[in-house]
Amino acid sequence: MPWIAEDRRNTRATEGQPLLTDAMKALLRDKYFPRYPSKRAVLLPALHLIQHEYNWIPSEAIKEIADFLEIAPAEALDTASFYEEYWLKPKGKYLVQVCRSLTCELCQSEALTKKLSDTLKVEVGETTPDKRFTLVELECLGACGSAPVVMVNERLYENVDVDQLMKIIETLPEDPHEFKDPGVTWENHH
Amino acid sequence: MAFTEPVLTKRIPLDPEKRKLITYDDYVATGGYAQLKKALEMAPADIVKTVTDSGLRGRGGAGFGAGQKWSFIPKEKKTTHYLTVNADESEPGTFKDRYVMNYDPHLLLEGIAICALATQCDIAYIFIRGEYHYSAKVLEFAIKEAYDHGIFGGNGVFGSGKKIECYVHRGAGAYICGEETGLLEALEGKRGWPRNKPPFPAIAGAFSKPTVINNVETLMNVPMILEKGPAWFKTMGTPSSPGPKLYGMSGHINKPGVYEDELGITLDYAINTLGGGMKGGAYKASICGGISMGVLGTNQLDIKLDFDDVRFRGGCLGLGTAGMIVMNEHTDMVKALRNCVRFYSHESCGQCTPCREGSHWMKKILDRVVAGDGKARDLEMLLELEKTMGIMPGTTICGLADGTAWATRTFVTKFYDEFAARCPEETTKRVALKLAGSSRTNVLTPMGSNTR
């Protein structure tokens, strides 16, 4: 909500370095500006870009994006705060997202959440003290045919049971940038 | 009843092991983009007429005639026209679009290109939900291939001068962006608050320009309609709901997944033949088209899955997306409804009071009933609340609240005994008596203006 006062504890110290770098600006300008008749329409892609880079969206970044897109910071915050996928406070390196909608609930997703909560020693919505995991439940992931499903960062795991889930959690690489979806095999072709 | 082989999913093998991404070369080798060449030879009005004649109804939930929708776009082009493809598939139980996009993205792109020619659109945006990371990458790859082969951009479709641009626009985790005007707001970089209509998107949609909005599956039907004609299309399905349909089957069945069949198959056939029969117990209930449409009861296995029978005989809002959630006899219906209502209370955009407050209120009531602390007045209150929410009583801008209302109404009335058993007895009787009277029939019929 735009009227919430800024929480300075969550503000990343920038030390004069802009979060929206020149390379990012160039990407937005060259790739995204020609796609839309208004600059404001680039807001969602820009927020995705920031979150992909920093894992969350600091309030300085929102101001920088607003300046770049020539809109008011409040307008950018208004949009950013509406969407659940944008994290306006820091989260863990790995976001473990358990689907809780009807099919997954019928297929015992609650057992997965409970096991994760017990193993990681966090409640739903919390981050582990080592900042490695954030556990959340979210609504339908659109893979009901293979329920229950869990999404870790950008990768979807289908038909998971408790044992498989523990294995997945244990074998995640140290650096989340090395964590890729093996299904995406064609990116090197072009 | 002439559905003999898959048509929408003809390129996707039934064996999951053999499925792979169909690239541009694979697609063209199996007759792909031939219909786009045909469409180039046709006048835009003729394409619209062909699609209208086929009776193709939108596959995104509402079942509005696709050709009719296209015909609302101004024929004389004075400004930019936009096409937005609704791939914001977030309705619980619905996963058909993900399936076809992941394997056969070019079928969608061909449908987009044909639709853009028919409605003279310059730019197509595929609005895909943020959680579909993999599908978004598939589409980006396929679009790049299509650009490389002269479908999009450059000198127009196959060098014809009719230039179409096509982009992926990722959402960011909001169910409400599946509502067409909420989607447009998100496309413009704003919060996904649905707009008041009129003006309708066909006149002033994205960036206040004429805009077509179609579901992924709807557009995927278009190439084959051009190829084989409206008469062939009508041999499948029922007179009012022709054509093939993707059924997303999930829940307590042996073979969950996406199946293609014609519209108008019975619920019994869908569960026992397509879905491989019940798992873990006998059949109890099923949600026929995403939770917004409501639930079909234990004695409704003969309902035909088309846009009308589910509505008029089934007592639900409609077929919706045909994303079916099947529940066996051990399912706790109170908890199932709590799950549905929690979804709406979480996803309500907060714009209209009846939906924002009503859905939270209903969730609190159901939390209480699930925990065993329910009072009989609670059921009365649930049924009273659901009557006051939605487009049909005229209290909200979009249909999200109608989804809440229909889910609540059908669950509580069709499984009333189960709900009542969770509430103290003396007061339950009072409500049961009241419901057995005239107000019960009111509950089952679509609401008019008598909301107060």
A96-145: pLDDT as tens digits: 999 999 999 999 999 999 999 999 999 999 999 999 999 999 999 999 99
Residue B316, CA distances (Å) to B259, B390, B444 in order: 22, 15, 9
Confidence of residue A95 (pLDDT cuts 50, 70, 90): very high
Specify the pLDDT at position B239: 93
Q: Which residues of B46-64 are buried (b: 16+ CB within 10 A; e: fewer)?
A: ebbbbbbebbbbbbbbbbe
Nearest-neighbour CA in chain B from A8: distance (Å): 24
Q: Does residue B143 contact residue B85 with C-beta atoms inside 8 Å?
A: no
pLDDT at A189 over 90: no
- For chain B, the residue count is 452
C-alpha span between B80 and B291 (Å, rounded): 36
In this prediction, what percent of chain B has a pLDDT beyond 90? Answer: 87
In this prediction, what percent of chain B has a pLDDT beyond 70? Answer: 94
Residues 6 or more apart whose CB falls under 8 angstroms from that of B31 comprise: B227
pLDDT at B446 over 80: no
Specify the pLDDT at position B430: 61
Q: Does residue B82 contact residue B166 with C-beta atoms inside 8 Å?
A: no
Residue B8, CA distances (Å) to A122, B3, B32, B262 in order: 45, 12, 12, 11
pLDDT at A172 over 90: yes
Specify the pLDDT at position B433: 61
State the complex-level ipTM.
Answer: 0.92
Q: Does residue B51 contact residue B64 with C-beta atoms inside 8 Å?
A: no
C-alpha span between B400 and B43 (Å, rounded): 38
**Structure-token pair, residue B181:** 């005007």
Cα R_g (chain A), whole angstroms: 18
B58-88: pLDDT as tens digits: 999 889 999 999 999 999 999 999 999 999 9
Residue B369, CA distances (Å) to B63, B284, B376, B427, B434 in order: 35, 20, 9, 14, 20
The B residues from 276 to 295 touching A (CB cutoff 8 Å) are 287, 291
B141 touches chain A (CB under 8 A): yes
Q: What value does the mean pLDDT take over residues B241-264?
A: 96
Specify the pLDDT at position A183: 86
Adjacent-strand bridge partners of B266: B304
Question: How many CB atoms neighbour CB B156 within 10 A?
Answer: 16
Q: Read off the DSSP letter of residue A146.
A: G
B246 closest CA partner among B100, B127, B105, B85: B100
Q: Read off the DSSP letter of residue B237.
A: B
Adjacent-strand bridge partners of A96: A135, A152
Indicate the residue type of B388: T
Q: What value does the mean pLDDT take over residues B24-51?
A: 96
Residues in chain B within 8 Å Cβ distance of A102: 92-93, 251, 287, 291, 325, 336, 339-340, 343
C-alpha span between B176 and B181 (Å, rounded): 9
Helix (H, G, I), strand (E, B) or coil at B115: helix
B213 closest CA partner among B246, B177, B162, B163: B177
- Supply φ then ψ for residue A148, to 5 degrees: -80, 150
pLDDT at B251 over 60: yes
* Residue that has been written with the tokens 């469409």 in this structure: B39
Specify the pLDDT at position B384: 93
Residues in chain A within 8 Å Cβ distance of B129: 142
Mean pLDDT estimate for chain B: 92
- Supply φ then ψ for residue B255, to 5 degrees: -125, 75
Q: What value does the mean pLDDT take over residues B188-202?
A: 95
B197 touches chain A (CB under 8 A): no
Q: What value does the mean pLDDT take over residues B394-423?
A: 94
C-alpha span between B375 and B372 (Å, rounded): 9
Q: Which of B91, B134, B189 sits opposite A183 (nearest CB)?
A: B134
Q: Judge residue B192's burial from the number of C-beta atoms within 10 Å of its C-beta, 0-12 exposed, 13-18 middle, 19 or more buried.
A: buried
pLDDT at B434 over 90: no
Q: What value does the mean pLDDT take over residues A164-173?
A: 95
Specify the pLDDT at position A160: 96
A38-93: pLDDT as tens digits: 999 999 999 999 999 999 999 999 999 999 999 999 999 999 999 999 999 999 99
Residues in chain A within 8 Å Cβ distance of B98: 142-143
Confidence of residue B375 (pLDDT cuts 50, 70, 90): confident
Question: How many CB atoms neighbour CB B409 within 10 A?
Answer: 22
Best residue in A33, A65, A82 for a mutation probing chain B (most B CBs within 10 Å): A82
Q: Does residue B306 contact residue B316 with C-beta atoms inside 8 Å?
A: no
**Structure-token pair, residue A105:** 């609930």
C-alpha span between B246 and B263 (Å, rounded): 9
Q: Give the angle subtended at the CA of A159 by the CAs of A154 and A164, to the nearest 5°.
A: 80
B434 vs B158, higher pLDDT = B158
Q: Does residue B184 contact residue B211 with C-beta atoms inside 8 Å?
A: yes
**Structure-token pair, residue B297:** 């009861």
Q: What value does the mean pLDDT take over residues B106-127?
A: 98
Q: Got the DSSP string for B13-64?
A: -SSGGG-----HHHHHHTTTTHHHHHHHHS-HHHHHHHHHHHT-B-SSSS--
Confidence of residue B103 (pLDDT cuts 50, 70, 90): very high
Confidence of residue A184 (pLDDT cuts 50, 70, 90): confident
Q: Got the DSSP string for B197-215?
A: SSSPHHHH-GGGS-EEEEE
C-alpha span between B319 and B63 (Å, rounded): 8
Helix (H, G, I), strand (E, B) or coil at B219: helix
Best residue in B131, B252, B363 for a mutation probing chain A (most A CBs within 10 Å): B131
Q: Which residues of B314-327 are buried (b: 16+ CB within 10 A; e: fewer)?
A: bbbbbbbbbbbbbb
Specify the pLDDT at position B432: 63
Q: Which helix (H) or strand (E) holds A163?
A: helix A162-170
Residues 6 or more apart whose CB falls under 8 angstroms from that of B198 comprise: none
Q: Read off the DSSP letter of residue B251.
A: E
E strands, B240-308, where?
Answer: 244-251, 257-262, 265-266, 283-287, 295-296, 304-305
Q: Which of A82, A100, A139 sits opposite B192 (nearest CB)?
A: A82
Tell whether the torsion through CA atoms of B330, B334, B339 and B343 is positive or negative: positive
Query: CA nearest B124 in A: which residue?
Result: A35
Determine how β-strand A150-152 pairs with β-strand A155-157: antiparallel
Question: How many CB atoms neighbour CB B152 within 10 A?
Answer: 24
pLDDT at B1 over 80: no
Number of alpha carbons in the 13 Å side-chain half-sphere of residue B204: 6
C-alpha span between B323 and B309 (Å, rounded): 16
Residues 6 or more apart whose CB falls under 8 angstroms from that of B315 comprise: B294, B410, B414, B444
Q: What value does the mean pLDDT take over residues B177-191?
A: 96
Measured in whole angstroms, the distance separating CA B255 from the mean position of its chain's CA atoms is: 22
Query: CA nearest B145 in A: which residue?
Result: A190
Nearest-neighbour CA in chain B from A52: distance (Å): 12
Q: How many CB pairs under 8 A join A and B?
A: 155
pLDDT at A14 over 60: no
B130 touches chain A (CB under 8 A): yes
pLDDT at B442 over 50: no
